[in-house]
Chains A and B, each alone.
Chain A
């Protein structure tokens, strides 16, 4: 069911992005900087998450002219965000031929009960998740890549760490359960039994598992990768720092040498000041982006 050719091609592109850094960009100039710094892909959006947080209002799919300009500028894959449940925004992005769609909690949700049925799109989707149940529901809907949600635009790694640790721990727990226990666990997770059984057998997700939401330094990228993330998304962390190009290069290096402290030291040298960052515990619940998605 999950192994038809179309789905394998979608997962295949995610495989190619492993060990890399996907960077949020809002215009062609930033996209060119990201590509030059070694990004494996760029994510086109109207405003980076920290600005969405600051300015408020409804956050939507980026303007088509901006996305097109970015697609013309770089040779690496271009992703774009659609609102949760907004299947027409997704169809428009598909017609535009972006390489990946992020059905993202960073934008204002368009549907508070349903996500997009992602299976019959030609273009692959990535979705955020805070735990295994959420990840498997998104995969059941057709997502070909999962990323932890973290807390976008916060510059604070604590939520991304919580989410990757949760997903990895919940997967480990499944591997020691008996078959009858998996049925019960599928009920608890709110996820299809077939996918729960797959994870129990393999100890990992059937699609690549990346991390996002709060990565601001090379050390942050290496941290989530050591915890089990296979690549990272960096949003506000790059273009909200005072040295985007150097920081982008440093995070790319950290994603490759995430287990090598000497290389991580090299990557961490000569960086200016990172984005200020937010204390998540001081945020009101309504300000959290991670609780969007069902």
Chain B
């Protein structure tokens, strides 16, 4: 997990529940020791600033050209190609455009139910000041939608969720990401 800021510990718990080893990554050299990277929920502006200041921007992009990356909420914003409300720099690892805080403020945060493709049961989706994916490129595939908007999208080895699977105690989506790591190996 990228451990600059946010709920990376919750991702660690979910990964261990799904049967993987989880380590915290705070520097570029630590990327060489992991098979996949999760960019957690948190504040995307804070994470982006630390990614730039600590020289992690290009190393994460290069890592993403070889290895799977999974972003939740703020992580999805960072993996996107276009970001609005307001616009900010991003890693361009997924061909999607996202609008930040698109549901509104914290009082508009919500919990929904989803049945993503490839998962055999309903999943809870916790949206916290969540972004909305406004454009999905031709290479990307929508695995789940909520109220008509894509919320779980994959593109090749990468995966993004605008909600927080790490806060639900169900590790199905983390298992899906581990499968991607397995296929990539």
- On A, residues with C-beta under 8 Å from B are 5, 8-9, 12-13, 15-20, 35-41, 75-77, 94, 97-100, 122-124, 249, 252-253, 255-257, 260
Contacts and interface: CB of A to CB of B under 8 A. Distances in A.
B42 A75 contact: no
Interface string B49-63: 110010000000000
A38 B129 contact: no
B42 A18 contact: yes
B5 A41 contact: no
Contacts of B8: 19
B111 interface: yes
Contacts of A99: 105-106, 129
Nearest to A95: B107
A13 B128 CA distance: 6
B126 interface: yes
B50 A38 contact: yes
Contact of A13 (B100, B106, B111): B106
B85 interface: yes
Interface of B: 3-10, 26, 41-43, 45-46, 49-50, 53, 73-74, 85-86, 100-101, 104-107, 109-111, 126, 128-129, 164, 167
Nearest to A257: B26
A77 B107 CA distance: 11
B29 to A, nearest CB: 13
Contacts of B74: 16
A211 to B, nearest CB: 16
A269 B104 CA distance: 39
Given A17-B43, A35-B45, A256 B5 contact: yes
Given A16-B43, A75-B100, 11 more contacts: A16-B7, A16-B129, A37-B49, A40-B42, A75-B45, A75-B85, A77-B43, A77-B106, A98-B105, A123-B106, A256-B26
